[in-house]
Structure 1
């Protein structure tokens, strides 16, 4: 199945499953929100997924899953630039998040560039895998696939940050998911018609693994994934959500080794260890941020402003002298209780 067609069917299925549940809560739609929805549906459902599938064709499933581990680093940098993530370089938790992000990127680079010896496993001996069928994956194809996956991850990080921003003005996870899937399927259809023009047979579906892939990826990977990450993102932010993406690599490596008979290399194992260590640092730092939030500069200056305002108002009360006129007697009574006799007018 064409990857462009798979993306379309995937989000059609996701919209069909999520839409009935999204009818209950529908906030008011405005033009700025709709523009954000269009951008969201273009970033992840169209750009990221198509580039990810193309990059996986040039490499392997394990390699593609390993490259997505740069997602937490990209999201972290973008969140800091947009001030969605607070940093204090003198704080240990902030240092843990920074070093964890660097370790994640370093681990992804190790997986990409370092191959090393093959780790022989019992279930991969004597089996023909994807790399052997294609005559081995050369460095040129690996670099091309890595570039595609990296661009896709950057688009994915933009999607995460923009989703967190959109949820502040459109706080309905189910409705947001339905809109993303609907618009993503429409935009993906346009891309598929352009890229696969003249190939009408690619749109056909049968009762086989292709249909299962469209159903599973639509319901689980798009529908439930968008909704769950939106719920968690409202409370913990986009950095916390993307910090768990390296777990995908572990699952894919195990399943790829069992099902596709893919070989494991020492470089990938070493890079995975570095990535897991960086992931632990990021999660630890984020957990401390959730327990003890870092106050913003506005929150820090607020008490000082209150003290200044209280002092100035107290001074005004002390210096201010209320005057009460006794109209009947012509006397003037001040706030200190003294009686001030008016002066006699001068005769002219």
Structure 2
């Protein structure tokens, strides 16, 4: 009984890990939006975020992976540089810029195109299998198209305001906190979409890098260190006329930097790496809609953001498409029994060969019996 419970828990570990990540990302979105509303530079936030992440993760990497950390090579280092450019510099800066033009709810909903982008790239690189005659593969394709269509609906369709959580307040204040005209919405959505492409490339490259550098903590520490250096250069260039943006006080800005650094950079890169080694990059990104729901609730309550009917419709379409993708991918992980059978067959074959060596006079009967057993198993 305990063995069965342990196996169930082991199967649930990837799901628990990615759900935990979505709760962490939801808290980051709300805190980051609050910090940006108070005038914090998104470039500075990215730098401080990875400074905190490196300080927290580096000691664990040095101690726990001292014996298993592979030797650094030029090829691995170039991959690390590319990883630190794709996610800490390009994706996060564009994501926060897009959030600044729109709202936290809109930004996290636009991120839902990430699974579709990752899925397409994984298919191109042959990390994801597609057979158009299979119903599961058709569900993956239809779900991908629905995800992109839902994102377009959220971008172009607004409609009336929906007071889902009954958060009524000063209309002037709400308009000031979430009032973004169509031009800003389109500009922010373009930035977030480009960031999604960068994040998808990061997921794919991280999966490939872990094959030659299977040390998740050390990989995370390197990404955070190089991301700090590269992000610092970008921040110094973009904020060269105002060095006061680097100052921090005991307020939301500091909390956003510390929280996002520990949870959404340090822990997230590590957990993503561990899960992707066994489930692939598409699995990690398919749980983004959960983050959208959490952020919508939290931002509506704490940031008094409006929720429009168009965004609700687009969100429903996105969730429908994503769960089609998840259902289509379920076949990829529904074959543990077949794997066990394949692992058991060589044992039977070896036992059969031993019996043949010990008693050759029963060779014909033994082989026929195994053929019969194999046919029964196939039936």
Report what 1:77 is aligned to: 120
Which of 59, 69, 77 does residue 20 from structure 1 map onto?
Answer: 59
Question: Shift of residue 123 of structure 1?
Answer: 3.9
Which of 321, 327, 332 does residue 284 from structure 1 map onto?
Answer: 327
- 1:200 equivalent to 2:243? Answer yes
- 1:114 equivalent to 2:157? Answer yes
TM-score of the aligned structures, taking structure 1 as reference length: 0.81
Question: Shift of residue 134 of structure 1?
Answer: 6.2
Report what 1:3 is aligned to: 42
Structure 1 residue runs without a partner (length 5+): 294-348
- Structural mapping, 1:49-88, within 5 Å: 49-88=92-131
- Structural mapping, 1:327-338, within 5 Å: none
Q: Is the 8 A contact 1:129 1:262 kept in 2?
A: no
Which of 254, 258, 262 does residue 211 from structure 1 map onto?
Answer: 254
Report what 1:183 is aligned to: 226
The structure with the greater share of residues assigned to helix is 2
- Which stretches of structure 1, 4 residues or more, deviate above 6 A after TM superposition? none
- Which whole-Å deviations, capped at 9, do the CAs of 1:249-290 have from their partners, x for residues lacking one? 111111110011111111111111111111211112222112
Q: 1:122 to 1:7 in 2, by over 3 A?
A: closer
Report what 2:315 is aligned to: 272
Number of residues paired by the alignment?
A: 293
- 1:104 equivalent to 2:143? Answer no
Q: Is the 8 A contact 2:177 2:304 kept in 1?
A: no
CA distance in 2, matches of 1:68, 1:79: 17
Q: Is the 8 A contact 1:106 1:274 kept in 2?
A: yes
CA distance in 1, matches of 2:289, 2:182: 23
Q: Secondary structure at the match of 1:197?
A: coil
What do you get for the CA RMSD once the two structures are aligned? 1.6
Q: 1:131 to 1:59 in 2, by over 3 A?
A: farther
CA distance in 2, matches of 1:130, 1:46: 32
CA distance in 2, matches of 1:92, 1:82: 22
TM-score of the aligned structures, taking structure 2 as reference length: 0.75
- Structural mapping, 1:164-183, within 5 Å: 164-183=207-226
Q: 1:86 to 1:133 in 2, by over 3 A?
A: same
CA distance in 2, matches of 1:151, 1:130: 31
Q: 1:225 to 1:157 in 2, by over 3 A?
A: same
Question: Shift of residue 208 of structure 1?
Answer: 1.1
- Structural mapping, 1:249-264, within 5 Å: 249-264=292-307
Question: Shift of residue 95 of structure 1?
Answer: 1.2
Question: Shift of residue 158 of structure 1?
Answer: 0.6
Question: Shift of residue 131 of structure 1?
Answer: 5.7
Report what 1:335 is aligned to: none
- Which whole-Å deviations, capped at 9, do the CAs of 1:68-87 have from their partners, x for residues lacking one? 11100110111111111111
CA distance in 1, matches of 2:191, 2:172: 23
Q: Is the 8 A contact 1:129 1:260 kept in 2?
A: no
Q: Is the 8 A contact 1:75 1:239 kept in 2?
A: yes
Q: 1:16 to 1:135 in 2, by over 3 A?
A: closer
Q: Secondary structure at the match of 1:119?
A: coil
Report what 1:307 is aligned to: none
Q: Is the 8 A contact 1:60 1:131 kept in 2?
A: no
Q: 1:94 to 1:120 in 2, by over 3 A?
A: same
- Structural mapping, 1:292-307, within 5 Å: 292=335
Report what 1:337 is aligned to: none
